[in-house]
Structure formats: structure tokens, C-alpha cells
Amino acid sequence: MSIPSEPVSVRVLDREYTVGVVPDERESLMAAAKLLDGRMREVRGSNRMAAVDRVAVLAALNLAHELQQVRTEGEQRDREMARLLDDLQRKLDGLIDAR
């Protein structure tokens, strides 16, 4: 049985949007909206006349770039961890075989 979503209002760049979200994800959605609002305000800067769609695309592109960097760093950490575990396993195997 799926959990029904409930409408939640968020404000992004002085505009209100209603989004459906399951209750457990409400706080995460609110945090995401706050992050997006902040990024859009940074992109817009002092240019109040900037087109909202352009500001939104640039903010989304910046966030997507950061996400990609985090994913790449995570993949590198995962590879390094796998290498370290393989090294440890070989050392353990060597110790067991030496007995």
C-alpha cells in the first residue's frame, strides 16, 4: 500500500508552488526548496529584471554540477575502499596460509 502524498506550499524566488509529498519527506522538500531559493537569489544577484526561467536553469545547472562532483568523489572513495579491503584480505589470507 502506497502512502498518499499531501500538498505542501513552498516559496521559491518570491513565488509560491504547491507540491505533493509524502509526510516523511516534507522536511527534506522544505530544505530543498530553501536551497533552491538561495541559489536562485545568488544567480539573480542584484539584477531583479533577470528572467526567472534563466535564473532557474542556471541555478539548476549549478546544483547538478555540484551533485555530479559529489557522486564522482563518492565513486573514487568507493574504489579506494575496495582496493584497501582487497589489500587487507590478501594480507589476512597470507597470515592464515603462513600458519
Hey, where are the domains in the chain? 6-98
- Please state, in angstroms and rounded to a whole number, the distance separating the CA atoms of residues 82 and 9: 43
Higher pLDDT, 46 or 22: 22
Q: What is the pLDDT of residue 1?
A: 63
The yes-or-no verdict on residue 92 having pLDDT over 80 is yes
Q: In CATH, what is the architecture of 6-98?
A: 2-Layer Sandwich (3.30)
pTM, full prediction: 0.76
SS3 labels along 15-54? EEEEEEECHHHHHHHHHHHHHHHHHHHHHHCCCCCCCHHH
Question: Tens digit of pLDDT for each residue in 36-71?
Answer: 999 999 999 988 888 999 999 999 999 999 999 999
Percent helix, strand and coil across the chain, each rounded to 5? 70, 15, 15
Q: What is the DSSP letter of 14?
A: T
Arithmetic mean of pLDDT, 91-99 = 88
